[in-house]
Amino acid sequence: MDLTDALKAVVMGAVEGLTEFLPVSSTGHLIAISALIGFMRDPADEAFRKMFSIVIQFGAILAILVVFRERVWRVVSTFHRDPASRSFVAKLAVGFIPVGIIGLLTNRFVQDHLMNTGTVAAMLVIGGVVILLVERRQAKRSDPPVHDDAMNLPWGIAIAVGCCQCFSILLPGASRSAATILGGVLLGLSRKAAAEFSFFLAIPTMLAASTYSLLKHPGGFDDPRMPLLAIGFVTTFVVAWAVVAWLLRFLASHSFVIFGWYRIVAGLILLGLLVAGVVGWKE
């Protein structure tokens, strides 16, 4: 295994772990960083690159399960006898249905026409502006959030937050985390509750998306560079674990404003890289 490739796998795994659950779009960051460090840029590497992106997402899923291991275990262990546990799982399932349907119906169109660097850069900037507008609105409100328990939300809100995920499917760069967290905040959730429900909802959503991609692109496991998959997986898991734990503490006393400004700057940088030819239109 080439040491340079191993270091690049660490970088890509770290980027996925850092950005998957923050409202900043992991897609945009992976496009930019992949181009800058030259990770698997040869067309012959396409199958392995897709496999790598799938595997590191599983690392992010595992991080969520570990961070919330006590609550996950409580739900799993009491599912057969506790109506509250069954209700929570059912709400996650119903929340996943909209994005599952939209994803199946629009995947080909999005991949062919919207999955490009220009769209991602634009959505980074637009998403940043939306975050700033939402936070300005929240700052003017004097009433406290209606819901502060991510595991006990009304059915209507669980479904509505699930519908918010569709923006991330239809608009690459919108960010699944940003769409669900901001949607939750606008629906009356505290920032912490919105983030937690977004993380829980990520489990079925990312698991389904990764499994679907794995079935569509089964090649790559016979590649001699298999150790890179393990490196990327472990790096993503460790970094995502740290990021999620940090974000939950951060949201106890901070807003999302910093992420709004960050998205705007990141989007403009990605657009600059596109104009300069450092990244291509289709990455």
pLDDT per position as a tens digit, 86-122 = 999 999 999 999 999 998 899 889 988 888 999 999 9
Is the pLDDT at 146 greater than 80? The verdict is yes
Is the pLDDT at 80 greater than 70? The verdict is yes
Q: What is the distance between the alpha carbons of residues 181 and 201, in angstroms, rounded to a whole number?
A: 11
Local confidence band at 72 (pLDDT 50, 70, 90 cut-offs): very high
Q: What is the distance between the alpha carbons of residues 251 and 242, in angstroms, rounded to a whole number?
A: 14
3-state DSSP of the chain = CCHHHHHHHHHHHHHHHHHCCCCCCHHHHHHHHHHHHCCCCCHHHHHHHHHHHHHHHHHHHHHHHHHCHHHHHHHHHHCCCCHHHHHHHHHHHHHHHHHHHHHHHHHHHHHHHHCCHHHHHHHHHHHHHHHHHHHHHHHCCCCCCCECCCCCCCHHHHHHHHHHCHHHHHCCCCCHHHHHHHHHHHCCECHHHHHHHHHHHHHHHHHHHHHHHHHHCCCCCCCCCHHHHHHHHHHHHHHHHHHHHHHHHHCCCCCCHHHHHHHHHHHHHHHHHHHHCCCCCCC
**Mean pLDDT of the 210-219 span:** 74
**Mean pLDDT of the 249-278 span:** 93
Q: Is residue 116 a contact partner of residue 281, using CB atoms and an 8 Å limit?
A: yes
Which of the listed ranges 24-33, 44-53, 70-79 does the model predict with the highest average pLDDT? 70-79
Is the pLDDT at 266 greater than 70? The verdict is yes
Local confidence band at 124 (pLDDT 50, 70, 90 cut-offs): very high
Q: What is the distance between the alpha carbons of residues 23 and 132, in angstroms, rounded to a whole number?
A: 12
**How open is the CA angle 172-200-262, to the nearest 5 degrees?**
45
One-letter amino acid at 248 equals L
The residue with tokens 């992420």 is: 259
Is the pLDDT at 55 greater than 60? The verdict is yes
pTM of this structure: 0.90
**Mean pLDDT of the 123-135 span:** 95
Which of 39, 96, 5, 12 is closest to 283 using CA atoms? Answer: 39
Local confidence band at 217 (pLDDT 50, 70, 90 cut-offs): low
| End-to-end CA separation in angstroms for the chain | 25
Can you give the pLDDT at residue 111?
A: 85
Share of the chain above pLDDT 70, in %: 96
Q: Is residue 279 a contact partner of residue 117, using CB atoms and an 8 Å limit?
A: yes
Which of 243, 258, 246 is closest to 17 using CA atoms? Answer: 243
Write b or e for each residue in 131-164: b if 16 or more Cβ atoms lie within 10 A of its Cβ, otherwise e. bbebbeebeeeeeebebeebbebeeebbbbbbbb
